[in-house]
Structure 1
Amino acid sequence: MATKLTTRLASAMLTSAMALSLFAVLPAHAADNDTPPAETPTTTETTTTDPTAPDPISDEDLKKQIQYYAEAFKQADGNYRIGEPLAGGTATGTVPSGLEKYYAQKFTGWDRGIMSDTVVQHGYLIVPIDYSDPSKGNIALYLNMYAATGERKGAIVFNNGGPGGSASDYVSGSPVWSNEIKKLNENYDIVGIDPRGVGDSLPFSQCAVDKFTDLTPDNPSVYTTDIEKETEANINTTKKHVNSCFAYTGKAFGFDEAKRELFLRNVGTTNAARDMDVLRSVLGEEKLNFIGLSYGTRLGYVYAQNFPQNVGKFTLDGAMNPFEGTAPTKADETPNLSDEKLRELNAHYLSQGKEFQATYEKFAQWCYSLKGNTKTWRELSEGTLDNDEVASCPLLLPEVQPHEGDLADDNVSLATQQVQNILRPLTTKPIKYVSDYGTTNGLSFDVASTALAGGMYAENKWPTVAHGLQQILSKKVDFAFVNLYDRYSRTDNYGRAGYTTVTCADSANPAAASVANYIRIEKMYHDVTPFRDPGAQYHDIGNLDSCSVWPFAGTLAAGTSVENLPNVLVVSTRNDPATAYENGEVLAKALFGTELTVEGAQHVAFGKQQPGYECANNIIVNYMINGTIPADGQYPPICSVASFRAAAEVPDVPENPATPPQPSKDESNPGEQPQNQTQLEEQKDEKQVKTAGTTSKTAGKAAKSASHKLAQTGVNVAALSVVMLMVIASGAVMVTMRRR
């Protein structure tokens, strides 16, 4: 029996380099799905029947997996070792005591090439594993940099989301395909550095024998009502995943068990922010200019917390709430949690689910509008779909309408009932198909619902979603639809391993591990996200989240307000499915910055080419070049600006932030958009009234309110995600510069 794939991936999940914030509920591999090594292991490790034990792999095979990445660190004896930073550089700005050699280094393995008439350089930044004791060893962070095409005025560093997104891949595609980044590149070096444990940085987080098959839909899960057996299999799968992270990560570089654990303790966001300050110095910049998307807003915020004096021009687009997802407090470290506390601790996961549902309802309204359409699927998708039939909406077909004996719930929207009738048959009868690689795969409910959620990140993916649902009804599989799953889950650029290790290093709460809590949270999630609900008969299937079986608690400091910063630009899209719109105001107030509201229905605004987004792109680009933000009313109604520079307030996090509100007129018909400037102003006034009663917070007071956060409770490894799907939504093409 293939087990149900329930271990979650994340937040922001992830998509194109621009918007890859991986969605909060990517399923994990079943326990028997990991690809075995190609050769017989040569180590003393022995095969075991323990279902939680990592798959055996030889040291030699682990080395083979990094040989195309680690040329700069290969020793004469054939082993790989990351040594000291390359001396000879010049430090810029303030240098913390004891870190001089890192702040004054030259890039290791620095190479130069030409791509589309643009100079691109790539190499490694060497940083300590543990900033509190650099003598314990170093790691290497991979970066791509596009030199300014005109007069250089500085550098702009990007992070495209995750945790787990490859910023080096992101920028290697963006200067070629994005007009916005081309404009910035005229006077600024464009820099993408893979955070520690992510992408091509070394060592990368590794939680499977083969990095490239960490997540695939090759072996479909089949739901059963054998609750006990399903639950046991799920927990074993989660434990195997976690044990594998500690068994494989860094071993190819000679890391022993203690050093692997040290690395995984230090792979979180706080140290990634410290790495960015080293990068700032090596780039020769007094101030760090930064564009962070989705999880990148978390990274930017933590940098501002730790290095406020070094903050330059910061754009944080697709905001995460800075008071969620931090280390658990003593009060959180118990499995005996009330429903109220569970909602509080999983606020991001539940609010994200609500936003996904709202965006799905908007997709359904768009789908309904295809009635009477005369365009083909090829025309509707602008050539993405290879189908010359006239496009129609699968949600309108007679067989998916609610009827006696169907699989849909009675207490959900019509659009949700329709998609439940399409997807729920897959819970027990996946559709078999042959992949591009010649393997026989199965389209399961988990893969299909994940692909559906992935399609919510960008409106230009909606034709692919509609076509994919239509094909499912015909017992066929559309590869473009399946790729909405696969592109978010592949670990060579955006995957579960990096997401898991960074998220758990930040917020793991193993003291609160509880299968019962996991089940309770999943039921809460299905209440707010019914379009992804497999059915009530499966709600009691349990699991433990990866961060629940993590061997130590996360260490990310609680959120605070950060004063005396330059004017930070926070961008928040009204109907962002992955990062709730309300987070933008919270983050802007915490940083005493300015919020740009964008009216739309997709994840992040920067780089989007849909009609109307020109104003958001223009505001961001002009801000990053000139440091100025226009007053409200100077742009079309899709963009509005609110400043929190004067007497900024950090709002209290509500006691029950994830409780779904009663549907308003707009929510009951998500396809409606504000029609004029007056309606937009009324909406903004209403939003401001809701937070006007808060009092001014000092940093200490904000820290107290930050106890309302998303500390993992043993139920939700993916709550921060989002955070991972940030990359595919923009549609940017990723072109890696590494030789492989």
Structure 2
Amino acid sequence: MTRFARSLPLLTAGALLLTAACSAETRTEERPSPSPSAGDEPGGGGPEGADGGSAADAPVLDPLPEEIPADLQPYYEQELTWRGCPGVPGFQCAMLTVPLDYESVDPADDIQLTVTRARAGGADRLGALLMNPGGPGASAVEFAQDAANYIFPAEVREQYDMVGLDARGTGGSEPIECLTGPEMDATTQVDRTPDDEEEMQALLTAHEEFAAGCQANSGRLLEHISTIESARDMDVLRSVLGDERLHYVGFSYGTKLGAVYAGLFPQRVGHLVLDAAVDPRLSTLDLDREQAGGFETAFRSFAADCASRRSCPLGPEGGDDASANLLAFFAELDATPLETGQDRPLTESLATTGVAMALYSESLWSELRLALTAAMDDGDGAPLLALADAYNEREPDGSYGTTMFAFPAISCLDSPAATTTPEEVLAQLPDYEEASPTFGRDFAWATLLCGVWPVEPSGTPLTIPAAGADPILVIGTTRDPATPFAWAEGLADQLQSGILLTYDGDGHGAYGSDSCVDTVVNDYLLANTTPEEGASCP
């Protein structure tokens, strides 16, 4: 049984209230699939940063010294105690000890990270294959335990240990905690596209209360869950597992984590597959606007398919008409939420989340079409609420998964905020709406969360050349909703050994979904074969 789609939506940090945690892993009844984003024509302000600078101006991430510092040697030399994972046959679990702060190591502050593995089945073991499904915040442990059989073929499992490491602050690794289930229910129903001063203040207050809850319940950990620190944790695990080089498959945000690892430790890069890639050079503002454009592209692809069916709740024309009809439906919900058979009605915000959830994978389009029909034609909001709950990781008992909390905590720490006041959002609304007439307002207002975050960002946009690294395979999908194709081009371009594979298709991520892509990736992992420049699938 799969717990979520390959990788959670990698929405912007503010998207917590936009789509409930863009990076929250999407769940399907079939196989996992990476975060959504982008398309052929990502919207937004192009390569310009929030301060007017070009993405090319992002500082270079320099490698760390090859020699392991003395104060880190005990971590690199530790031995793990492996035990069977309850309820997961074939997998072992262990706890990895790492320093809370790599710049000021104090064993009294050490944290414990959850690791899982399934040993390679063949005699010609190539090493451990780490994986990360994205988010940020999705559980790599759960992903590895689910994905070993439905993404990775037997030939790969024969030669690699399947390994998942829950990044600090996520899953079973000192997870970030913020609000209770009832408090999250209230948060996810807040109007994310305010129409007046009162609604703007309500949204800002919701962001402030969420941020305060994270600070109160997570403490100092909030300062030390950056992508750079998680990449350093992966290098500790690489050493502990006995490998000289790191082999890795990352989806969505997991591509940023893998790229940062390559930038810090280029001499230790083995086989790296970065699918549904993120461009780490982009400012938060550019990422937000271009992701909004990605969801617009994905929605219009869905709407065209819907219009080709015998009955489509968005109308028979697709395009602008479908967008206008969806926005009219959202406006009706803004005035009068729909009944769902629960004590939680379908609000505009929850409906937007449900639609965004289904845009991550083409396999969910039929479910979205039926959910919209139920809501728009029959007044039944339950199916769309179910999609929103899956996206938000809301369980039937009313609890929420840790991704909802880890996603904004990591995102806000990694990058400076795009906006800090409602006035700044209002000034940027036209650009967002140009990038995405359907979702632009939601994306724009979501950016306020990092503006009230209680911890100053420790990160910044980065250029990652990873000079000297072995070939790194980057995959981009042309109509990916969460990670626009242009981001894959940007990442492959800045990595000196980056090789871009283009998948002409829909959905978030391609490996495990397309036989052509699967062949290229498996040949790379098993035979060290890289595709030619300009390679594409199908």
Question: TM over 0.5: same fold?
Answer: yes
Distance in 1 (CA, whole Å) between partners of 2:188 and 2:499 is: 47
3-state SS in 2 of match to 1:156:
strand
Distance in 2 (CA, whole Å) between partners of 1:484 and 1:288 is: 36
Q: What is the identity, as a one-letter code, of the residue corresponding to 1:496?
A: M
> Any conservation in 1 of the 2:19–2:356 contact (CA below 8 Å)?
no
CA, structure 1 residues 494+573, in 2 after alignment: closer, same or farther (shift >3 Å)?
Answer: farther
1:575 to 451, 464, 479: 479
Deviations 1:540-562 (A, max 9, x none): x9787222112343122532422
Distance in 2 (CA, whole Å) between partners of 1:322 and 1:224 is: 28
> Any conservation in 1 of the 2:361–2:506 contact (CA below 8 Å)?
yes
User: Is 2:414 aligned against 1:506?
Assistant: yes
Deviations 1:318-351 (A, max 9, x none): 11112025xxxxxxxxxxxxxxxxxxx5111111
Deviations 1:181-209 (A, max 9, x none): 4432111110111100011112x11111x
> Any conservation in 2 of the 1:164–1:493 contact (CA below 8 Å)?
no
Q: Which moved more, 1:156-165 or 1:99-108?
A: 99-108
Q: Report how far residue 11 of structure 1 moved.
A: 4.9
Distance in 1 (CA, whole Å) between partners of 2:25 and 2:429 is: 21
> Any conservation in 1 of the 2:21–2:391 contact (CA below 8 Å)?
no
Deviations 1:149-202 (A, max 9, x none): 222221100010011111111111112433x34432111110111100011112
Q: Report how far residue 513 of structure 1 moved.
A: 2.2
Q: What is the identity, as a one-letter code, of the residue corresponding to 1:126?
A: T
Which structure is higher in helix share? 2
Q: Report how far residue 532 of structure 1 moved.
A: 3.1
Q: What is the identity, as a one-letter code, of the residue corresponding to 2:33?
A: A
1:591 to 495, 505, 517: 495
Number of residue pairs aligned between Structure 1 and Structure 2 = 485
Q: Aligned ranges for residues 327-406 of structure 1 at < 5 Å?
A: 345-371=284-310, 392-396=311-315
CA, structure 1 residues 443+23, in 2 after alignment: closer, same or farther (shift >3 Å)?
Answer: farther
Q: Report how far residue 625 of structure 1 moved.
A: 1.5
CA, structure 1 residues 542+195, in 2 after alignment: closer, same or farther (shift >3 Å)?
Answer: closer
Distance in 2 (CA, whole Å) between partners of 1:413 and 1:270 is: 41
Deviations 1:218-275 (A, max 9, x none): 98446897722212222111111111111011xxxxxxxxxx23x2111110100000
Q: What is the identity, as a one-letter code, of the residue corresponding to 1:15?
A: T
Distance in 1 (CA, whole Å) between partners of 2:353 and 2:172 is: 26
Q: Aligned ranges for residues 651-690 of structure 1 at < 5 Å?
A: none
CA, structure 1 residues 495+102, in 2 after alignment: closer, same or farther (shift >3 Å)?
Answer: same
2:254 to 264, 278, 296: 296
Deviations 1:108-162 (A, max 9, x none): 5x3125978x621012111110011221511111122111122222110001001
Q: What is the identity, as a one-letter code, of the residue corresponding to 1:230?
A: E
Name the structure 1 match of 2:98.
Answer: 127
Distance in 2 (CA, whole Å) between partners of 1:516 and 1:526 is: 16
Q: Report how far residue 289 of structure 1 moved.
A: 0.2
CA, structure 1 residues 489+521, in 2 after alignment: closer, same or farther (shift >3 Å)?
Answer: farther
Q: Report how far residue 494 of structure 1 moved.
A: 5.6
> Any conservation in 2 of the 1:12–1:578 contact (CA below 8 Å)?
no
Distance in 1 (CA, whole Å) between partners of 2:22 and 2:189 is: 23
Q: What is the identity, as a one-letter code, of the residue corresponding to 1:429?
A: T
> Any conservation in 2 of the 1:214–1:490 contact (CA below 8 Å)?
no
Q: Aligned ranges for residues 168-187 of structure 1 at < 5 Å?
A: 168-178=141-151, 180-187=152-159
CA, structure 1 residues 429+598, in 2 after alignment: closer, same or farther (shift >3 Å)?
Answer: same
Deviations 1:71-111 (A, max 9, x none): xxxxxxxxxxxxxxxxxxxxxx9533211111111225x31
Q: Aligned ranges for residues 247-646 of structure 1 at < 5 Å?
A: 247-249=216-218, 260-261=219-220, 263-325=221-283, 345-371=284-310, 392-396=311-315, 413-434=320-341, 439-477=342-380, 479-490=382-393, 493=401, 495-509=403-417, 513-532=420-439, 545-556=448-459, 558-592=462-496, 593-608=498-513, 613-631=514-532, 638-639=537-538
Q: What is the identity, as a one-letter code, of the residue corresponding to 2:403?
A: G
Distance in 2 (CA, whole Å) between partners of 1:572 and 1:197 is: 28
> Any conservation in 2 of the 1:165–1:493 contact (CA below 8 Å)?
no
Distance in 2 (CA, whole Å) between partners of 1:219 and 1:614 is: 38
Q: Report how far residue 504 of structure 1 moved.
A: 1.5
User: Is 2:125 aligned against 1:161?
Assistant: no
> Any conservation in 1 of the 2:114–2:173 contact (CA below 8 Å)?
yes
Q: Report how far residue 428 of structure 1 moved.
A: 1.0
CA, structure 1 residues 10+433, in 2 after alignment: closer, same or farther (shift >3 Å)?
Answer: closer
Distance in 1 (CA, whole Å) between partners of 2:489 and 2:36 is: 22
CA, structure 1 residues 488+225, in 2 after alignment: closer, same or farther (shift >3 Å)?
Answer: closer
CA, structure 1 residues 225+206, in 2 after alignment: closer, same or farther (shift >3 Å)?
Answer: closer
Distance in 2 (CA, whole Å) between partners of 1:120 and 1:213 is: 34
Distance in 2 (CA, whole Å) between partners of 1:426 and 1:417 is: 14
3-state SS in 1 of match to 2:370:
helix
Q: Report how far residue 6 of structure 1 moved.
A: 4.8
CA, structure 1 residues 426+534, in 2 after alignment: closer, same or farther (shift >3 Å)?
Answer: farther
3-state SS in 1 of match to 2:344:
strand
> Any conservation in 2 of the 1:23–1:453 contact (CA below 8 Å)?
no
User: Is 2:114 aligned against 1:142?
Assistant: yes
3-state SS in 1 of match to 2:522:
helix
Deviations 1:363-390 (A, max 9, x none): 111112213xxxxxxxxxxxxxxxxxxx
Name the structure 2 match of 1:28.
Answer: none
> Any conservation in 1 of the 2:375–2:384 contact (CA below 8 Å)?
no
Q: What is the identity, as a one-letter code, of the residue corresponding to 2:364?
A: K
> Any conservation in 1 of the 2:37–2:480 contact (CA below 8 Å)?
no
3-state SS in 1 of match to 2:479:
coil
Whose radius of gyration is greater, 1 or 2? Answer: 1
**Percent identity at matched positions?**
29
Q: What is the identity, as a one-letter code, of the residue corresponding to 2:26?
A: T
Distance in 2 (CA, whole Å) between partners of 1:448 and 1:104 is: 50
3-state SS in 1 of match to 2:372:
helix
CA, structure 1 residues 231+282, in 2 after alignment: closer, same or farther (shift >3 Å)?
Answer: same
User: Is 2:164 aligned against 1:192?
Assistant: yes
Distance in 2 (CA, whole Å) between partners of 1:113 and 1:350 is: 41
> Any conservation in 2 of the 1:146–1:190 contact (CA below 8 Å)?
yes
3-state SS in 2 of match to 1:531:
coil
Q: Report how far residue 421 of structure 1 moved.
A: 3.1
Where structure 2 has 5 or more consecutive residues not aligned to the other structure, the ranges are 1-15, 39-65, 395-399
Name the structure 1 match of 2:69.
Answer: 96
Distance in 2 (CA, whole Å) between partners of 1:181 and 1:142 is: 25
2:79 to 97, 103, 106: 106
Distance in 2 (CA, whole Å) between partners of 1:225 and 1:452 is: 19
Where structure 1 has 5 or more consecutive residues not aligned to the other structure, the ranges are 25-92, 250-259, 326-344, 372-391, 403-411, 640-740
CA, structure 1 residues 317+471, in 2 after alignment: closer, same or farther (shift >3 Å)?
Answer: same
Q: Report how far residue 451 of structure 1 moved.
A: 1.1
